[in-house]
Structure 1
Amino acid sequence: MIIVNARFYIKEDKKSQFLKEIEGLISASKKDEGCLEYSLYESINSQQEFVMIENWESQEAIEKHNTNPLLVAFAKNLSTYSSKKPAIQIGEVK
């Protein structure tokens, strides 16, 4: 299993727009082949910090997911929501 943690830093005035767009992405991603988990969590320390936790069966599943039109659009729009570059960590559990 491959685990992806993506930490997002969202501008205060863009939070509702970010959540609206990412809700559709989460819903669609959960249906992607090989997706085991795809959930967004808000930090209790900062209302502008979110972490997406993704669990995938394989690298191939992630590569296919990376072509999802909603993900591509989200990535293109991310700079309008973000106060700084997202931090992404990837690990593998065998």
Structure 2
Amino acid sequence: MIKVVARSVAIQGKEDEIIALSKELVLESRKEVGCIRYEMYQDQKNASVFTMIETWQDEETFQKHKETPHVKRIVPQLNALRVEKAVVDVYTLVI
């Protein structure tokens, strides 16, 4: 099992645009084979900070996800609304 934690900071005033685009990304990603969980959270103390938390069946399904049309279309749009590129950490379940 693969867990992905992607943290990003929106350009001030672009939070609603990030949420709208992310909603589409989340809904489309949840339809993918191998997607166990896909959610976005907004920091309670700083509304410009967002974290995507994804759970994938395995490395293969995660890699296929990154090549889907919705990821290739939406992620560049999200990057344009962020202060800098998201910090993405990928974990493998060990216990």
Equivalent position of 2:2 in the other structure: 2
Q: In structure 2, what is the Cα distance between the partners aligned to 1:89 and 1:76? A: 18
Equivalent position of 2:38 in the other structure: 38
- After TM superposition, the structure 1 = structure 2 runs for residues 1-94 of structure 1, keeping only pairs within 5 Å, are 1-94=1-94
Letter in 2 for 1:44: Q
Percent of aligned positions that are identical:
26
Number of residue-to-residue matches in the alignment: 94
Q: In structure 2, what is the Cα distance between the partners aligned to 1:18 and 1:50? A: 9
TM-score by length of 1: 0.93
Secondary structure at the counterpart of residue 80 of structure 2:
helix
Q: Which moved more, 1:27-36 or 1:9-18?
A: 9-18
Q: In structure 2, what is the Cα distance between the partners aligned to 1:76 and 1:50? A: 16
Q: In structure 2, what is the Cα distance between the partners aligned to 1:43 and 1:19? A: 13
* Structure having the larger proportion of residues in strand: 1
Q: How far does residue 75 in structure 1 lie from its aligned partner after superposition?
A: 2.0
TM-score by length of 2: 0.92
Conserved in 1, the CA contact under 8 Å of 2:21 and 2:78? no
Q: In structure 1, what is the Cα distance between the partners aligned to 2:90 and 2:66? A: 14
Q: Which moved more, 1:82-91 or 1:30-39?
A: 82-91
Which runs of 5 or more structure 1 residues have no equivalent in the other structure?
Answer: none
Secondary structure at the counterpart of residue 13 of structure 1:
coil
Which runs of 5 or more structure 2 residues have no equivalent in the other structure?
Answer: none
Q: In structure 2, what is the Cα distance between the partners aligned to 1:33 and 1:79? A: 25
Q: In structure 2, what is the Cα distance between the partners aligned to 1:8 and 1:14? A: 12
Provide runs of 4+ in structure 1 moved above 2 Å.
none
RMSD: 1.1
